[in-house]
Amino acid sequence: MLEVVNRRLELLKLEGLGLCQAEIVKQLSQKMGCSERTVYSDFECRSTWQPLLQGATNPTDVLLKVVNRYEEIYRQASRKMFSSSNELAQLAALNIMLKANSLMFQTAALPDLINRLKALEDKTKKGVFIP
């Protein structure tokens, strides 16, 4: 069971790094000593295991995890900006900080937006639509 979890975590990591499915299958089958069909099967049934593996079964938990990741990206960029003497590295760090702030704001506003859309959807289902 542990080898299955490790294989699937590695699959997500390689995909996150931008590798295409065929390359991921090739690398994982060689590295993990399994058939290519096993890795393709992981891709095919990922909707069942990925949320569990990443703890993404509750939308609120996912939101908190994403916000935490943006906050960590901001912290690391901030440290780099203050510790680097290279002006280009400082500018790059500031750019990352700006993007992280923007994404954090968008993420924080998302639940309210979703709730508003659900309310509008409920109204249209009832035949009542007053903007």
Output 126 or 57, whichever has higher pLDDT. Answer: 126
Tell me if the pTM is above 0.75: no
- Tell me what the pLDDT averaged over the chain comes to: 89
Domain boundaries, the chain: 2-53, 59-125
pLDDT of the residue at 8: 94
Instruction: Please give the Cα distance from 80 to 89 (Å, whole number).
Output: 8
**Token digits for 120?**
């509008």
Residue 128, helix vs strand vs coil: coil
pLDDT of the residue at 115: 86
Q: pLDDT, tens digit, for every residue of 68-119?
A: 889 999 999 999 999 999 999 999 999 999 999 999 888 888 888 888 888 8
| CB 51, CB 57: distance < 8 Å | yes
CA nearest 91: which of 104, 80, 76, 100? 80
